[in-house]
Chains A and B, each alone.
Chain A
């Protein structure tokens, strides 16, 4: 299991081996923005790896191709990755993504309205 820090919210998400960041977040009840849910179609889950790039598994050809084809050019940066494809080999990566929300707190949010 690897620890990944999500900015600007400052969460730490534990990601299982072989699991993508977005799937790990969804599994643990976080809201990670998406429209296509893991199909590498919508680009809504895209994030920036702002530190610890060596702790990430590099993008494969399919992920690169999806970003090249579908991500508006003005949004794409060298450190862009699709969270629905992003996996980790080590602790220490820092990923920037706005709009990630934590799992609902059963104390204050019994209905899960925050999700």
Chain B
């Protein structure tokens, strides 16, 4: 852990450095108000969401020129528009005439035109105005081309995603993603594409919802089926290494990568639990490959290395991109990367489970939780435009696997529990939960900025 020994402000409840209410006094306690206080939430809107790089869409949502998708964050709406040269622009979604939102959801700009549904003013895909109905009735000062141009927002492409920052003076994306961008590139983040994409609305603060995925400490109790028949007392707690990084990012992964698999049976069984339990990370395709070399393994063989080799051979045969050294990535056999403020990647082999969490309906106690199953497809495979399958209830077993249902259930109980009389703050394990404190300390740093 790259602990930063700084002055974290005064006692809980008293505004700390930079006037941040309910500040972090250390990395071990989180004042409960940070998860429901309206003033704290409004400060997040003003000083975090308006000024941070955030994932706005996946590139597969807008594969063709003139495809667009709307990104909404705390009441701000942006249109991510694929340009004819394949670059992406982020345009503020409001008519320059009388502010009508120009587009909703996702779609295609037929004829390359963004059209206001109110009076028919139009813009080209790059945001330049192309038509004003009845222009002769306006004073020239109302129709200056520079004023009519749709306002543009900072946007950059990295890791198969479009990222935006509402702050025109923000530093470059790559600086903000340090050091997790390098880590994710080791596992070829840019090669993943959407298999499926779903959403759940949770009665919980956006930070609380995502903290459940920053540690593996909850696994034996929340997901007993993943504990291999061991009770929580017997389940080894120190299997993962947890790294808290600068800029609020963090990561965890198995301490011993390939060697965790003592036999081909444990590899297949563990993979089946992930495939059945969430239809992500380990996929049917991988299990088929593992079954294929089950009988070739000799006692004493390195099962992890053999699995990697079999997956690589399969990928090469199927035309699936496999960068040199992919199997040497610290994330190859599974792990987690948290990208501050609200994005997760849980890679395994050439697949990944991904989460994005956002405040919902301008309420600090509600959030939108999106889930993607990503994988690497053959380079020549034509994929359909990625669309969200829908928003499903947290206990809808038709649409959620056992693993996410178990997680969602605890998250809402946690939010409810925060309101208990006499409960002041959460208490965190130094060894297993350091990523949570790390995120909150970075949040305070952002909230304290001028």
Residues of A within 8 A of B (CB): 20, 22-23, 26-27, 34-39, 41, 84
Contact = CB atoms under 8 A, between A and B. Distances in A.
Given A36-B115, A37-B115, A23 B120 contact: no
Given A37-B115, A39-B115, A22 B110 contact: yes
Interface string B101-131: 0000000111111010100101000000000
A13 B292 CA distance: 53
Nearest to B103: A39
Q: Is the interface of A mostly helix, strand, loop or mixed?
A: loop
Interface of B: 108-113, 115, 117, 120, 122
Contacts of A20: 110
Contacts of A41: 117
Q: Which 7 A-B pairs have the closest CB atoms?
A: A38-B110, A26-B111, A37-B113, A37-B115, A23-B110, A37-B111, A37-B110
A36 B111 CA distance: 10
A38 B122 CA distance: 13
B387 to A, nearest CB: 16
A22 B111 contact: yes
Contact of A23 (B111, B115, B117, B122): B111
B350 to A, nearest CB: 30
A41 B107 CA distance: 14
A1 B110 CA distance: 19
A86 B141 CA distance: 41
Contacts of B109: 37-38
Contacts of A26: 110-112
B83 to A, nearest CB: 15
B339 to A, nearest CB: 35
B108 A38 contact: yes
20 contacts: A20-B110, A22-B110, A22-B111, A23-B111, A26-B110, A26-B111, A26-B112, A27-B111, A36-B117, A37-B109, A37-B111, A37-B113, A38-B109, A38-B110, A38-B111, A39-B110, A39-B115, A39-B117, A41-B117, A84-B110
Contacts of B117: 36, 39, 41
B257 to A, nearest CB: 45
